Amino acid sequence: MTNSIKFTLDGREVSAAPGESIWEVAKREGTRIPHLCHLDKPGYRADGNCRACMVEVEGERVLAASCIRKPTPGMVVRTDTERADTSRRMVFELLASDMRPQAESPDPQADFWLWAGSMGISGSDRLPSKFDGDEHVGHDITNPAIAVNLDACIACGACVRACREVQVNDVIGMGERGSHAVPVFDLADPMGLSTCVTCGECVQACPTGALYEKTLMNDAADQRAIAEFDKSVNSVCPYCGVGCQTTVRVKDDKIVQIDGRDGPANENRLCVKGRFGFDYIHHPHRLTKPLIRLEGAEKGLNVDPANPFTHFREASWEEAMAFAAQGLADLRDQGGETVAGFGSAKCSNEEAYLFQKL
């Protein structure tokens, strides 16, 4: 490794590239260090807010946040000391004491609870609170696709960085101070009334479920209802020619969630259509078979999408293709100037190129 920095990690000599953090080296070497505010994804800078990734550096008085600490030549780092383990565990205990029990959490399978469980912190009962009072923040369901349950928020700032620095929408900020600090939308507006474009990057970044997809939640949008997926399929967003890569999750033969995947065009990111615009797939008005207009049926806007058979009949693909081809051939024989068409944002770049050549 050119210009590598050699240091000791848990008794082993390892090398770090310039600018690489202790956390990144540990991950590459197979050492798991808890993390909440740090997202190991393109575009996210380390922030060191949550202090869940603390490690011990030999000769230093205080522990170091491994996500923002860069190694230096000869440094000796321990991730598994009693002092580091105790510090990390206390972080999770303090956060859990200010949250609802795991069973009442918006997402009982969130990264926070998975890490807490790995440390032996039970989420079955609420831990004794270390803070004054029992403030209930409530939840905001004004956005059509995203539920906001700030009772689960740990003020890690991941959603702020997702909105401001990754998607550059600059809608989410932090309001209040200290233990009362919470994410706010614009000037503390309800999410659905803010300038949020519902790209969902904040949902994908949130480690606790404080921001969550409504498609996975119960009718009250305060808790996850779909516990497990039947399958996950890697795919490509069908909405335009950009080619954003996605992971599609299916339950009972229905798409219930789409996340961005690390592709060259999107680097885990999606727009509102790519992440949430999949309900048309299961819409009862969606055509699944070719239809041909009945002879003598009036052409106009008086067709009921719920019952198109007053004006159309089902046809096989072969019949429909032959019917369309014959119609285009007849127009060609008339000079071709009577042909018109509609393009679509769902066409690929190649299809759009061919369409403009018609």
pLDDT above 70 for 262: yes
pLDDT tens digits, 273-310: 999 999 988 898 988 899 999 999 988 888 998 899 99
Confidence of residue 134 (pLDDT cuts 50, 70, 90): low
Angle at 80 between CA 77 and CA 84, to 5 degrees: 85
**What pLDDT sits at residue 179?**
79
pLDDT confidence of residue 136: 61
Average pLDDT, the chain: 91
The structure tokens listed for 341 are: 């068409």
* Model pTM score: 0.85
* Higher per-residue pLDDT: 144 or 1: 144
The reply to whether CATH 3.30.70.20 applies to domain 5-92 is no
Residue ranges covered by each domain of the chain: 5-92, 123-227, 228-283, 291-356
Residues 225-247: tens digit of each pLDDT: 998 999 999 999 988 888 999 99
pLDDT of residue 302: 87
CATH 3.90.320.10 correct for 228-283: no
**125 has a pLDDT exceeding 70:** no
**pLDDT for residue 130:** 58
Is residue 326 within 8 A of residue 303, CB to CB? The reply is no
Nearest Cα residue to 47 out of 132, 165, 141: 165
DSSP 3-state of 280: helix
Are 5-92 and 123-227 equal in CATH topology? Answer: no
Report the alpha-carbon distance of residue 154 to residue 99 in Å, rounded. Answer: 9
Q: Which fold has domain 123-227?
A: Alpha-Beta Plaits (3.30.70)
Whether the pLDDT of residue 342 is over 90: the answer is no
Stretch among 35-44, 136-145, 163-172, 337-346 having the lowest mean pLDDT: 337-346
* Longest pairwise C-alpha distance within the chain: 90
Q: Which pLDDT belongs to residue 160?
A: 97
53-76: pLDDT as tens digits? 999 999 999 999 999 999 999 999
